[in-house]
Amino acid sequence: MQETVRSIFWLIEKELKCLFRDPDILIYGLIAPLVFFPLVAVCVSETMFWYQGMQEHKKLRVALIEHSDTDARFDEVRQAIAENKYFQVVQSSDPARALKSRAIEASLEFVDDTFKLATNEALADTTDVRLTSLIRERSRTDLLHELKEHGLTEQILAKPFKIEEIGLGKVGTGAYAKTVETLGFYLISLMLCGAFCEMMLVGGAACLCVLTAEKEQRTFYTTLLAPVSRYSLVFAKLITCSTVAITSGLIYLFCLLGVLVTVLKPMLPNIYVLFDLFKQADLTFWFLTMAALVSATILGCASTFVLAVFGTSLREGQILISTPLLASVLLATMSALPGTNINSQTALVPYLNMFLLIKEGHPSAYFCALAFVETICLIAACVYFVGKMMVPDFSLKRLSFVPGGAGGSTASQKSGR
Amino acid sequence: MTLEVKNLVKHFYDKERGEFAAVDNVSFTCQPGDILGLLGPNGAGKTTLLRMIATMLVPDEGQVTVQGFDAVAAPQEVRKRIGFLSSETGLYERLTPRETLVYFARLNRYPRTQIDQRVEAVIKMLDLGAFADRRCEKLSTGMRQKVSIARAIVHDPPVIALDEPTNGLDVIAILSMHQFIGLCKESKKCVLMSTHIMHEAEKLCDRIAIMHKGKIFAQGSLDELKEATGKNYLEDIFLACVREPVVELI
């Protein structure tokens, strides 16, 4: 047993060495996410700046309502708004009426030590975004700190036309916050599906490298001469491919988060919600997410093995795996679509169920158990099948692989003896 | 007894010939320091026989034992004791020869503390030093052949099976292969090699087994074969053997 474990470790070490020296794997798994995402980020950033520039021809009119108890803090905010290029401070004797008649887009009032913002509904979102743009160059933490220092509350960030205390940071309260929460989880689902696509792309390429390419280069024959069981060999190869795929997926997620933090966060004030969701999601959610993502990737690699074992060359292997790989990626993507929920039918689709678990967040223990046990069984079945198939058929005078044990295409098997 | 093959039979099936015996009731033994050549034309069953000995194929009948271990009952033990080399074995393109040797020494359960020492010794013995740290994808055919040899012997097996070892090699590579076989004899290895090149068998082998259509028609030293057939040249001995009924020399 100890020897088997050691052999598997050595096999994995060798496979990892070979894979990380493979230029294709490096390009797809490491360089593509590192180069591609910053490139996408720059494109998105430029597009958004251009779009923003198009929108900036009109200033939003804001009425400032002063009361007798207004103090220096109000003057500070008034000055900030007046100096901002997006706003125009206007005088209004009846701001409520002005709002209704759309003579102004927003009114800001300092009542009971708190800022309250009101906008007309047609421009609510825009006004809200632009008011908060006063501070969006800084991080939210810095802002809150500064606001507190000035004795202000977080309500300046509140959804303005709903004067109630529905803070953007307070996910899970109010209708708007619920919408944002749904959107946030939808975005997380999409991110994870993207990571899965990346993992399957890299995992597929790795499977071809460690299995089909070995047959093409006739190195598999050499390994079979060593005192190692075929199942150890398949298991080690599967672990290697999964490791490479998961590493690549993590790089993908890391790059995506990098883009969110560096490019999108300063530009989209509401993206804070996504970060709040990240913070608020409990450990069970993250554990379930990672477990589902990892097991779905291992299953993906195992399924690719089942197909790749039939290929005798890299080209043949590529043809064999490409369509089913696309199908599995599509299944995973389906889980991100609105309306696809976990139920007894969808839970039986191996790839889909893993992603539905992520989407559901807190599925029942029954579905979790079903999804994980089903996946583990399928992975074991794939390893067994591939192990059985990895037999050199010498009778054909070439290194192809046929089912039926170490004897290959022998007379006794063909004649049914 | 290092290697013992008893009544080995292997049948194959193809559409043209139907069921046929690729190896038919073959028996022989090989002692330490012996070089036994399997001489026969293409399709004689030499490679199938070597593959059964190397546990790559399971015999239909008969038995192969290596240092007392049965190839069917204890294939892992047999694999540890055999170094198998054929033109069909490839090298990992992205590993260096040194990495390849360490990998196979480990897989073949060579004592862990002695692996580095053994790898160095093999590199020195086969003169791989100049390219031991260059990736295999950048090596010439001759260099690759040397690395393949090193790979087959890195775990210091008592039995070495060589399947047409000089096939496709240039003169210099053939000479180094011959030197290597000589080294194996000196270090008391039991060498089993298949070839269809008569002069190679004549030059290298202590004993020659003449194979044709899956059977061994004659086996013995060159002198014994000459005496039994009354012929002087191996080509003539071969033709005499395969045309005549089986000549039993042992």
CATH number of B1-81+158-168+188-250: 3.40.50.300
What confidence category does residue A90 fall into, taking pLDDT thresholds of 50, 70 and 90? confident
Shortest Cα distance, chain A CAs vs residue B220, angstroms? 29
B99–chain A Cβ distance below 8 A for any pair: yes
Contact in structure between A222 and B101 (CB atoms under 8 Å): no
Count of Cβ atoms closer than 10 Å to residue B182 Cβ: 14
Count of Cβ atoms closer than 10 Å to residue A68 Cβ: 4
- The three-class DSSP label of residue A357 is helix
* A409 φ/ψ sector (left φ>0, alpha ψ -120 to 50, else beta): beta
Pick A217's closest partner by Cβ from B11, B84, B90: B90
Burial class of residue B223 (count of CB atoms within 10 Å of its CB; 0-12, 13-18, 19+) = exposed
User: What residues of B are in contact with residue A6 (Cβ under 8 Å)?
Assistant: 106
Average pLDDT, stretch B148-156?
87
Question: What are the boundaries of each domain within chain A?
Answer: 2-43+178-405, 58-165
User: How far is residue A147's CA from residue B99's CA, in Å, rounded to a whole number?
Assistant: 62
Query: Which range (A121-125, A270-274, A376-380) has the least confidence?
Result: A121-125
CA B86, chain centre distance (Å):
8
Pick A406's closest partner by Cβ from B20, B58, B93: B58
CATH number of A58-165: 3.40.190
Pick B89's closest partner by Cβ from A6, A222, A407: A222
A106-111 vs A114-119, strand pairing mode: antiparallel
Give the number of A-B residue pairs with CB atoms closer than 8 Å.
Answer: 106
What confidence category does residue B167 fall into, taking pLDDT thresholds of 50, 70 and 90? confident
Pick B90's closest partner by Cβ from A14, A219, A407: A219
Answer whether A225 sits within 8 Å of B84, measured CB to CB.
yes
User: How far is residue A202's CA from residue A28's CA, in Å, rounded to a whole number?
Assistant: 6
What confidence category does residue A167 fall into, taking pLDDT thresholds of 50, 70 and 90? very low
Q: Which residue of A lies nearest to B149 if distances are taken between CA atoms?
A: A222
Tell me the pTM.
0.69
| pLDDT for A113 | 63
Answer whether B94 sits within 8 Å of A399, measured CB to CB.
no
User: What residues of A are in contact with residue B76 (Cβ under 8 Å)?
Assistant: 227-229
User: What residues of A are in contact with residue B12 (Cβ under 8 Å)?
Assistant: 395, 409-411
| pLDDT for A411 | 42
Shortest Cα distance, chain A CAs vs residue B237, angstroms? 29
Q: Which residue of B lies nearest to A5 if distances are taken between CA atoms?
A: B107
Output the DSSP codes for B40-97: --TTSSHHHHHHHHTTSS--SEEEEEETTEETTT-HHHHHHTEEEEETT----TTS-H
B14–chain A Cβ distance below 8 A for any pair: yes
Question: What are the boundaries of each domain within chain B?
Answer: 1-81+158-168+188-250, 87-156
Shortest Cα distance, chain B CAs vs residue A219, angstroms? 5
| Residues forming a β-bridge with A65 | A109
Question: pLDDT tens digit string along B25-37?
Answer: 888 888 888 888 8
Question: pLDDT tens digit string along B206-232?
Answer: 888 888 888 888 888 888 888 887 878
Pick A412's closest partner by Cβ from B11, B79, B82: B11
Answer whether B90 sits within 8 Å of A223, measured CB to CB.
no
User: How far is residue B34's CA from residue A132's CA, in Å, rounded to a whole number?
Assistant: 89
